[in-house]
Amino acid sequence: MDVNRTLLKTSIKLVNLLDKAADEALPQEIADVVKLHSKLAVASSWIPVPGADVAAGAATIWGMYIRINNKIGLAVKDNVVKTIGSGVATNLAGYAATSGVASALKFIPGIGTIGGAIIMSATLYAITLASGYIYLQALTLLAEKSGGSLDTSQIGNAVKEVLKEKTVIKDFINEAKKSYKK
C-alpha cells in the first residue's frame, strides 16, 4: 500500500461524489493538505515541553480537518471538528501511546528530549496521515449515502463506521511509518 496514492484516490473519490471534479487539481490539493499537516505534526514533536508537543499535534489534526472542509466548501463548526478529532484520536490511542511515552522522555534533559522527539516523529506523522485518511473516508461515506451532499450532523457516525475497519487502518499506519522512514 502506498499511503500517498491511497490518500489521492480517496480524495478523487470524494471530489467526484461531491460533483466538484471540475477542478482537476482539487484531489491533489486535499491530499497535499493531509501530507503538509503530517509534516507539521513532526515539527510539533520537537517541542521540548512534555505535553505541549502532544497538544500541538492534536491542534495540527484539527487544523487539517478545517482546511479539508474549506477545500470542499463544507461549513462545519469548530466544536464538531474537535469532536471528530477527539473521536479519531481516542480510537487511535493505542498507536498514540508511543507519543505519550516519548513526550514523557522529554523530562530528561538533553538525551531524553532528543530521544523523545525522534520516537515521537514517526508516530505523529503516521497518526496524522491516518487521521486525514479516516476523515476523507468518512466524508466519502457520507457523500455516497446522500447522493453527493454532506449532512454534517452525521460526520461523527461516519467516522465511527470507518474506524470499524481496524485492519485497514492498522495497515495504513504501518505503511505511513515506513514512508516516514524513507
Mean pLDDT, rounded, for 137-162:
82
- Average of pLDDT values for 18-28? 72
- Report d(CA 171, CA 18) in Å as an integer: 27
Predicted confidence band of residue 54 (pLDDT cuts 50, 70, 90) = confident
- Grid cell 479519531 is found at 88
Which of the pair, 180 or 124, is modelled with greater confidence?
124
Asked if residue 95 lies in contact with residue 127, where contact means CB atoms within 8 angstroms, the answer is yes
Maximum average pLDDT range among 44-53, 57-66, 116-125 = 57-66
Whether 149 shows a pLDDT value over 60: the answer reads yes
Main-chain dihedrals φ then ψ at residue 140, nearest 5 degrees: -65, -45
pLDDT of residue 93: 55
Residues whose CB falls within 8 Å of the CB of residue 121, separated by 6 or more in sequence, listed in order: 42, 45, 46, 180
pTM of the entire predicted model: 0.79
Instruction: Please report, rounded to a whole number, the percentage of residues in the chain having pLDDT higher than 90.
Output: 9
**In the predicted model, what is the mean pLDDT of the chain?**
77
14-23, 68-77, 96-105: range with highest mean pLDDT = 68-77
Q: Which residue did the predictor score with more confidence, 14 or 78?
A: 14
Q: How confident is the model at residue 32, as a pLDDT?
A: 93
Residue 181 pLDDT exceeds 80 = no
Write the pLDDT tens digit of every residue in 93-147: 555 554 554 455 555 565 655 666 666 778 888 888 888 999 899 889 988 887 7
Q: Tell me the C-alpha distance between 97 and 56, whole Å.
A: 16
- Percent pLDDT > 70 in the chain is 72
- How remote is the C-alpha of 133 from its chain's centroid? 6
DSSP state, residue 75: -
Buried b / exposed e across 51-90, counting CB within 10 Å, b at 16+?
A: eebbebbbebbbbbbbbbbebbebebeeebbeebbebbbe
